[in-house]
Amino acid sequence: MVGRRQINGRAVNPVGLGCMSLSWAYGTPPSEDYAVQLLNRALDLGYDHLDTANIYGLGHNETLLGKALKGRRQEFFLATKMGIVVDGPRRGVDCKPETIKACVEQSLERLQTDHIDLYYMHRRDFSVPIEESMGAMADLVKAGKIGAVGLSEMSADTLRRAHAVHPVAAVQTEYSLWTRNPEIAVLDACRDLGVTFVAFSPVGRGVLANGVRDMAALPDKDLRHTMPRFNADNWPKNLALVDAFNAIAAREGVTPAQLSLAWVHSRGDHVVTIPGTASIPHLEENIARWDWDLPAHVADELDSLINQHTVAGPRYGPVIQQTIDTEEFA
């Protein structure tokens, strides 16, 4: 049976909650009243690791969490991020030491707390040596503003360089059956260094939760419209994989989302997931089988069905890909 797992010495449920879709990315976000209800329901269900970022809704998501959960702050492990900058049409990454220290103050205010358990650099700033950025993060730990340092979408080499300056508690990267990049190096590097691996989009942007069928049915502003795997050439091929995946889930007596999460958890005891949702029923579904052990023969079957060779298209277009430090398959 899958048990609770560790982030920076704190035990958490292996299924955490990614909060982005309550503010941004997948069409129109839910009303504030519904979002507040969802966040409180999450804590009631046993979610104790919540993940947000300053960029989600340009501060809206952190503000939402601060308002909704201020009276329950001790019930969950709080993670947020800094580093991605959106200025009108311009998008970039800024992890200069002075920026890191200014951003944490803004996040603390929005979250209505005096302490962030895990603070990530959201992306690698290639204009600043990682050692300099880590020095600023270490200062925040010493000052008691953050409990631990995290890296997001960074390579094994960057992780090792950063960890040499100050311990890194977690690395967050997209990981699911259909995004296998962490298997190149980061997953093993985390295991070697005692770093928790936090998998975002563990149900493949909803694909492996049977949440995407007809692309035309998605809202116009849905982020998936910009992703190559969902275009007219690639999506029909990927949908065929989804149909086979859903059949395996039905055979095993679990939902597709539960099967997808169990597969990610099976990759190592140092792995946790943060599926996101703006739906209370989906929230309940994702955690309902959190302790289910995926049989080894089923894991092997899934590995053969959906992997970097069978999925059509890259996960990001060329503009976003330039901000990603994680290793890529040839």
Supply the CATH classification number for the domain 5-205+264-293. Answer: 3.20.20.100
pLDDT at 125: 96
Q: Residue 26 and residue 223: Cα distance in Å, rounded? A: 6
pLDDT (mean) for 63-92: 92
Q: Residue 233 and residue 81: Cα distance in Å, rounded? A: 34
Q: Percent of the chain at pLDDT above 70?
A: 99
pLDDT at 89: 66
- How is residue 170 annotated by DSSP? E
Quick one: 90 exposed, middle or buried, by C-beta within 10 A (0-12, 13-18, 19+)?
exposed
pLDDT (mean) for 311-324: 88
Average pLDDT, whole number, for the chain?
Answer: 96
Query: Is 56 annotated as catalytic?
Result: yes
Q: Read off the pTM.
A: 0.96
Position 323 confidence tier, pLDDT thresholds 50, 70, 90: confident
Q: Residue 156 and residue 273: Cα distance in Å, rounded? A: 19
Residue boundaries of the structural domains of the chain: 5-205+264-293
pLDDT in tens, 150-170: 999 999 999 999 999 999 999
pLDDT in tens, 208-234: 999 999 888 888 888 899 999 999 999
- The residues with which 272 forms a beta bridge, in sequence order, are 198
pLDDT (mean) for 315-320: 86
pLDDT (mean) for 202-206: 95
Structure tokens at 195: 């770093």
Euclidean distance between the first and final Cα of the chain, in Å? 36
Q: Which residue out of 47, 56, 119, 175 is catalytically annotated?
A: 56
pLDDT in tens, 83-127: 999 876 677 999 999 999 999 999 999 999 999 999 999 999 999
pLDDT at 55: 95
Lowest-confidence segment of 87-91, 104-108, 143-147, 241-245 by average pLDDT: 87-91
Residues contacting residue 173 through CB under 8 Å, at least 6 positions apart: 152, 153, 154, 181, 182, 186, 197, 198, 199, 200, 326
